[in-house]
Amino acid sequence: MAGLANQWGPLGTVVLVTVGLATSRLEIGTPPVWRVPEFVLSLTAASDSTKRAYRSDLRQFAEWASRAGLNVPSDVDRRWLRRYIAFLSVRGLSRRSVARKASALRRYFGWLARQGTIGVDPALGLVAPAGSGRLPRVLGAAEVSEMLGDGTVPNDPTELRDRLVLELLYGSGLRVAELCQLDRGAFRPGSAHIEVIGKGARHRRVPLSEPAMALLAAWRDGGSDEFDGQRLREPAERDPAALLVNLRGNRLGTRDVQRILDRHAATPTHPHALRHTYATHLLDGGADLRVVQELLGHRRLATTQIYTRVSRERLREVYESAHPRA
């Protein structure tokens, strides 16, 4: 006979599952004093992936804090946060992962301070240690051409959807989350732009390439209905607002986009590499950095400047491979 009992442990709800004489422990979430669920709910402008990442980051921090004897948020001071960031770095996490966890802590403790749960924000100005980050992978012109095809509009509805996805990622530099959130109303017939909701729920108008306009027109003028009728397992359950859906009729997700890329890329390629390539090719072609910043939807110019570094690296590679005295 099985029995269940709940109690609060140092990290969250401890569910004791008893089957016969055996008892298993399952810890879920963080204890109420940390107010993590409330904080995540307050992130109304954040994407679902950001919310999941922050929830996981804070759960890991609460676990580390409990081992250090810090049982409530007010026990945490700046010294402990700096120790935690150092602990993450020693564990070998990438600079990007440590920076995201530091961002989660800044937003979390700032929220606690505004809520009056703590008197002083210990994470104010908290930063991850500087280090050499990996440069984004940039696809070559031949790779892009092979992936996107010859520019003709496919007759097969699945191929039409896939090509539209790839063209929007490279031709307009959309983030994967922005692509997946596109509604049917984001594109107006005859328009050379598409309305995108980016990070922080910021709206921007993004130019469309000519191939993307042709693919969108074909998708709107029957391609989407053909996909729904021929490919969906349950057409009646299709998300009516979504521009692009998977075989279940749900909005495309990150994994769906990765599968599309896996089918069309000659080498393993992350979807975000197409956005990196978009930005780098613009700069290689002489585009102004401020213009690229607006196109990408970056709030800070410093975020865009990494692509100037990529362009310099590419120039160096070309020089070393082509010049006889390199």
Q: Which residues does the annotation mark as catalytic?
A: 175, 199, 272, 275, 298, 307
Residue 193 bridge partners (DSSP): 207
Q: Alpha-carbon distance 27 to 8, whole Å?
A: 9
Rounded (10°) CA dihedral 110, 111, 112, 115? 130
Per-residue b or e along 121-156, where b marks 16 or more CB atoms closer than 10 Å to that residue's CB: bbbeebebeeeeeeebbbbeeebbeebbeeeebbee
Phi, psi dihedral angles at 87 (to 5 degrees): -60, -45
> Angle of helix 272-284 relative to helix 301-322, nearest 10 degrees?
70
CA distance 131 to 199: 25
DSSP H/E element including 178: helix 176-180
Contact of 182 with 288, CB cutoff 8 Å: no
